[in-house]
Structure 1
């Protein structure tokens, strides 16, 4: 059996230190501004926010295409001819990226494709679960590893609060009436993944410092998250004092490991500046 290689998209928002540690192959998604296509992961997030400030529009985003997956799989096979590839993909119910991977994979053998039905930290949590298992047991049979990964897909829980209603309005996700009412009342929607789809599940009122703590409490009350690992998500602009308070709560709740993950340019086009989220795997 050859070496097992894990792949995923940039929309998993994996921290670079963990990508390097586990040698995960990350293929970029796309951000489009002023008619120019930028690779997610290479485009500074600040440029997304600057674009919105200048135009009052948000960039559009695009999935990884078939050719990019084909090139990725080809390079892996050139570098590791006997490898087995396990691709853990961005939810197929919010992007065409996974379907592109399915089409590209038809030209290769020994490739397993897993639809994570999740995005950003929810997807990242599944990928890092797989990476940890592989590190602990490098000779694990690919089929067994795939079975274990698929078993945690429905256990990955993601909840986040966009930092700006301006971005939701610019992206057509809220009406002007809802935007005005939300802005006046300081209402912030909570977005979760339900059956692979992004759904607004509840609304919070107040400053992000209050809302973030309330979301943390509600999330931990609703989901029996494994205390071994918690992922905390943020988009640039989230106040450090909020991060500090959330860290304190995580410690109080008994989490052994906590990792902050910054939203990349693609996810930030939807979250806006100062967004906050939580991801983990249920027991």
Structure 2
């Protein structure tokens, strides 16, 4: 049986500690800012993007990983006789999955998985794959199992402001102004059948109040939440809010692990700072 390499687009937002612990290989997205091409979380960080917006009123464009990049990335493993399970950002959000499939078809031995998700919603599947590898499962079986699990990964986020969404052309100025005037903080929810994003409940009030209500609402929405892990993932937010959400989770439900991770540039540039979500799996 061939050894299986675990790989993912950088948008899985696991953080360095989990990446190393579970031997996850990343390939970064492109961040094009002010005429320069950067590699996500390699030579640019979200705070640089925020600073560019605050000082120059510019936002980056993000670019998918292309077929040739995937081929060059995978080739060394294939030439050494390994197989690769690679998890992609949801196909509704990027062409990277399609590009990965084209590279896989040419090389063989590559098993792309459309996560139908983003950020650590995708990260759950990556860690699931790591556990399957440790159990000795074959790459094809891991791929099939992951594809059947995408509907069990639940990702959502609370936006503190719609300013970045508006600046990126993802909501109208009227919507952004209305949300600001009414002190509304929308919940962005990921459709785990495709990875598409939509607006869910609109919360009203300050961020502290909203985050507590949002956390309780999400944990009460399912009666079969897996208790092995939950992610608190944010785009850059004060530690006091993270600890508030952590305490709310602990008071509401017992989890073996509560992981805190920071979103990549690809995710952060669309939602702006002070965005936070809880991401979990159901049985």
1:249 & 1:92 partners in 2: Cα distance? 33
> Contact 1:225/1:280 (CA < 8 Å) preserved in 2?
yes
Task: Kindly report which structure 2 residues correspond to 1:49-68, keeping only aligned pairs within 5 A, or say none.
Answer: 49-68=50-69
**Residue aligning to 1:104:** 103
**Residue aligning to 1:254:** 254
- CA deviation profile, 1:5-60 (whole Å, cap 9, x unmatched): 11111111121111112221110101111111111021121110001101223211
> Contact 2:121/2:279 (CA < 8 Å) preserved in 1?
yes
Task: Kindly report which structure 2 residues correspond to 1:133-212, keeping only aligned pairs within 5 A, or say none.
Answer: 133-135=132-134, 137=135, 139-194=136-191, 195-196=193-194, 197-212=196-211
2:2 & 2:203 partners in 1: Cα distance? 49
Q: How many residues align?
A: 278
Gaps of 5+ in 2: none
1:10 & 1:205 partners in 2: Cα distance? 33
**Residue aligning to 1:20:** 20
Describe the SS at the equivalent of 1:254: coil
With normalisation by structure 2, the TM-score equals 0.94
Which aligned runs of 4 or more in structure 1 are off by greater than 6 angstroms?
A: none
**Residue aligning to 1:271:** 271
> What's the CA shift for 1:77?
2.5
> What's the CA shift for 1:131?
0.9
> What's the CA shift for 1:201?
1.4
2:7 & 2:280 partners in 1: Cα distance? 20
> Contact 1:57/1:171 (CA < 8 Å) preserved in 2?
no
Task: Identify which range, 40-49 or 246-255, moves more after superposition.
Answer: 246-255
Describe the SS at the equivalent of 2:107: coil
1:177 & 1:276 partners in 2: Cα distance? 24
Task: Identify which range, 32-41 or 217-226, moves more after superposition.
Answer: 217-226
With normalisation by structure 1, the TM-score equals 0.94
Aligned Cα RMSD in Å?
1.3
Gaps of 5+ in 1: none
**Residue aligning to 1:127:** 126
1:68 & 1:125 partners in 2: Cα distance? 25
